[in-house]
Amino acid sequence: MSIQTVHRTPSVGVTSRSSRDIETDILVVPVFKDDILPEERDLDAASGGEIAGARARGEFKGEPCEVYIPPVRGWTAGRVALVGIGRRSDFAPDLLRRAAATGALAARQRRLRRMAIVHAAGIPIAPGDAAQTLAEGAVVGNFDGASYKTTEPPPAWVEDVQLRIDGDPSALRAAVDRGRVLGECTNIARELANEPGNTLTPPLFADRAAAIARSAGLSVDVLDQTRIAELNMGLLLGVARGSQEPPRLVVLRWEPTSAAQSPVLGFVGKGITFDSGGISIKPAENMDKMKGDMSGGAAVLAAMVAIARLKAPVRCVGVIPMTENMPGGRALKPGDVLVSAEGKTVEVLNTDAEGRLALGDACWYARQLGATHLVDVATLTGACVVALGKTTTGLFGTPEAWVEQVRRVGERAGDRLWPMPVFDEYKELFKSEIADFTNTGGRAGGAITAALFIKEFTGDLPWAHLDIAGTAWAEEAKPYQPKGATGVGVRTLAELALAVDAWARL
């Protein structure tokens, strides 16, 4: 377990006071690069023209997440921070979310406990959406990944956040509560993904997942190695063979009595707690990052917690296969053939293509549990990072209408998803001479063949695959995000459940 607390959820409320009268330690004002909003004009007057001067000098431009703290007189707040949200024509809700997170990090760096954020008139987003987005950002900004540092003072936390937004008070409160939960659950996933492999082995991950899920009101079933074997999950067991740590399969259920028996939304998350590559061992450089190979599993767990806390009106099941991939004496070898729980046979050409094996058995099991629509989330392929870099998640699946629903929800949630092809012709790349198919199709189209491998176990249900290999981990600190786990996918999965009316008949 972590030595220090790594995140804290502040109280978040709405105020109708004028911006100049809000009592807080720091007042965060999002501003455009190319459009001066009323709050900025008032602040410029209160600063004696310092803001306009800073813009004229190029000291402050209003670029996304750029921060400027001018001297201001006559306003109640202890400090005022302008945070850029870029050009008006480029505005997207995620820029507002990032501005709120940037403000929270700026407050914490100055060890300030109280923060207020102004939703200025003129920013093109509805009040309720703004309230949720700002609440998410403020909570996500209250995260610190330095959980095992003992020689530095503990992190400073923002304890209280006020949002200056005009609108229906009850609707705004509901939106704030939703954003606060989604932000907190994003932080839960980040905390887990940051954990070292020695403190988050499969059994320990399962124990922590069960405790977190039960506290949110989810039903939990943890399958040990014996029960996994009884289900004939040869793919998951094959990956686990090289490790001394036994595998687990965690099943989470949200079954509201008011929801119809169908649809049932099924989430499957890759839970490889450390991936050495197995016999096909990875290079030593950056292998330490493979502690985060369970980020998909963490996202599924955290999303299910959010779904329960927000009482989503749809039945959901989450399945998380947990194991290490290690090169022990009993480890899976290139050339071995495994038999899946569904009875399909797989020739293993590369033991480092292990995530899809575990996901194959898990997707089959989600179907047995009644899932009618599937989404799997996995740090699956380096090929996806080559294709899309570190800012965009690869989105695969069928049919197109289902994939488009997931894409739209992801855009609203701030998880940028980009659709990729899943044409049947790619299946030629992972044909096997002795089994039904191989576990890799080689370098060409590697992210696509990995997705199509998983599709073999989805039973033709509406299915989407999120390859988060590039987006699950921030390689460098940003104004809105410290280096480390990002919690990608949590808000997308939760929002998908909350938007059930949009896709229930697909």
The angle at the Cα of 483, spanning 88 to 293, to the nearest 5 degrees, equals 110
Q: Which of 20, 61, 282, 289 is catalytic?
A: 282
Q: Measure CA 236 to chain center.
A: 24
Q: Given 108, 178, 309, 356, which residue is catalytic?
A: 356
390 catalytic? Reply is no
Task: Verify whether residue 356 is a known catalytic residue.
Answer: yes
Q: Give the distance from CA 439 to its chain's centroid.
A: 26
- How far, in Å, CA of 99 to CA of 96, rounded? 5
**Beta partners for 437?**
346
The total of other beta-carbon atoms located within 10 Å of residue 1's CB is: 8
β-strands 417-419, 373-378 pairing: unpaired
What angle, 0 to 180 degrees and rounded to 10, lies between the N-to-C axes of helices 295-309 and 490-498? 40
Taking the C-alpha atoms of residue 145 and residue 148, their distance in angstroms, rounded to an integer, is 9
Q: What is the CA angle 26-27-31, rounded to 5?
A: 135
- How many other C-beta atoms are found inside a 10 Å radius of the C-beta of residue 433? 6
**Which residues lie below 8 Å from residue 160, measured CB to CB, with a gap of 6+?**
10, 11, 13, 24, 113, 114, 115
Catalytic residues: 282, 356
